[in-house]
Amino acid sequence: MGRMKGRAHESLLHSAVTGGNWAFAEALISMGVDVNTPREGLYRETPLHSVFREWCGDELVKAKRLIGWGADVNARDVRGNTPLALAMMTRIFGSAISDGDESGSQNEGENDNATTEKPDTDKSRLEAIEYLLQHGAHTNMKNRDGMTLLGIACVHAMVTPEVFEMLLQHSADVNAIQGNSRVKMSPLDILHLHDTPGSTEEKSDNGGLARVRGMGYRKAYFLGT
């Protein structure tokens, strides 16, 4: 059968993957649905993007399956973000998901009401991030805002120290200038901005940002590279 095209089939593949419906996902792939086809109308993201945008669980299993089918680890969505760029915008703390807030939807990492994740999800997401880095994910590609993975991680202050270490171990450039506007900064400059409590910290109601703001650790790590 020729390659299937159409928004409906693309959306079905994204839903099947994030939901862990592998029999259906495999059927769609065998029928010709491209594993890298972007979903129309939602950031033009691939299924691999969706795995990291949504808190769907079992991220490592899903990333392995998709990469095994030929998923591009450096595919870009409409804003130039790779799957790992979305991961840098997502909380990876060990708190349980709060009741009544399990939709898992996220607007490019800007959802103020985003939930935190369960401990087992933490581990899966960390392992999935490492897996993509081991399979060719670029750490220094910039999105349309001129931000690398390290820059995005520093801006959003969502990820754990382990993620910073992974990025640095895979040649993330700590001196890469971030941004396209007249105001440009290095990742370390961005971290300095978090030293002064501001609107971002005031929004935090779960202690997560306080944990990420262990800036002394990060600064020492950056300066030691």
Q: Render pLDDT for 50-76 as a digit per residue (tens, 0 to 9).
A: 999 877 889 999 999 999 999 999 999
Q: For residue 146, is it within any domain? A: yes
Q: What's 98's domain CATH number? A: 1.25.40.20
Residues in the chain: 225
Residue 153 binned pLDDT confidence (cut-offs 50, 70, 90) = very high
For residue 119, CA distances in Å to 24, 122, 133, 148 come to 28, 5, 22, 27
pLDDT (0 to 100) of residue 175? 92
Q: What pLDDT is stored for residue 212 in this prediction?
A: 40
pLDDT over threshold 90, residue 122: no
Residue 116 lies inside a defined structural domain of this protein = yes
Domain membership flag for residue 1: no
Domain extent for 110: 7-223
Q: Residue 136: left (phi > 0), alpha (psi -120 to 50), or beta? A: left
Sequential DSSP letters for 8-64: HHHHHHHHHHHTT-HHHHHHHHHTT--TTPPPTTTTT--HHHHHHHTT-S-HHHHHH
Tokens of 162: 């382990």
> What average pLDDT does the structure give for the chain?
77
Quick one: pLDDT band at residue 39, thresholds 50, 70, 90?
Answer: confident
Give the residue with greater pLDDT, 203 vs 27.
27
Q: Does 50 map to a domain?
A: yes
The confidence score (pLDDT) of residue 161 equals 87
The answer to whether position 57 is within a domain reads: yes
**In the chain, at which residue ranges do the beta strands (DSSP E only) sit?**
none
Domains held by the chain: number = 1
Q: Is residue 192 part of a domain?
A: yes
- Report the range of poorest mean pLDDT among 4-18, 89-103, 165-179: 89-103
Residue 2 domain-assigned (yes or no): no
Is residue 203 domain-resident? yes
Q: How much helix, strand and coil, in percent to the nearest 5, is found in the chain? A: 45, 0, 55
Mean pLDDT of 127-152: 96
**Buried-state track 25-46, b at ≥16 Cβ within 10 A, e below 16:** beebbeeebbbebbbeeebbbb
Highest mean pLDDT among 10-14, 151-155, 187-191: 151-155
Q: Which residues pair with 178 in a beta bridge?
A: 185
